[in-house]
Structure 1
């Protein structure tokens, strides 16, 4: 997130409603933020109404698991916080704004922020994340052919199921 300079606040933009989900029983992520890009604005249209979801780029999970289970030794890995690792082009950050108050006190100033990375809750987020992985396999595949093959064939969203160690 990056605070929006005062002179940028009145530009055409979309503000995403958000709230915290608190799960005290969780060991790792006790609190996470949920963004609602399906919430309709005063014009009756939501951000998700205008976003494209993109084509399917990966094999279906069933095929990946069936191939994976054919081996005696396998491994699973995960890209931690994958969406938060992918920057959104500056041209599009005005469509991912939030209002934020540091403390719950109503006397605290409400500030405007841009969300700079792919945001959970947007229609295009899964496609953008997978497309980024696929592009990485193209861009770096010549230097890392095994990794490139794994990205193309053995990932399901941010989870890797493979047999080569």
Structure 2
């Protein structure tokens, strides 16, 4: 199930990139994410992060791997371990007044029930996912537009 949301942030792309490329900042703007930290010293494609993710009333360990790393343009991750498979991509585009940030997630099923829900209520679930992504981007925007820019 794929969903996308976008927002404009009143900051240059280098500020936005510095914040979102530090995956340890995810806990501040991604709903359900906590205790996220880098595993090892690697940065860029192949780097791994682990943390906790809460959804559906339970918290599970999650391991993420960076799949795309194009500074100030694109950042991709996928789940390696966790309660459900997903791939995500955050893209940045300069605008006359800041940076357009687009977040796309492609979430897989965590079991039969979710598969049935995706099949029966796909459009509704996609809208719900897009709303959640939009809320996360609003939090990201608010965080980045605060003065000073968070590290």
What TM-score, normalized to structure 1? 0.22
- Structure with the larger strand share: 2
Structure possessing the higher radius of gyration over alpha carbons: 1
What is the TM-score with the length of structure 2 in the denominator? 0.24
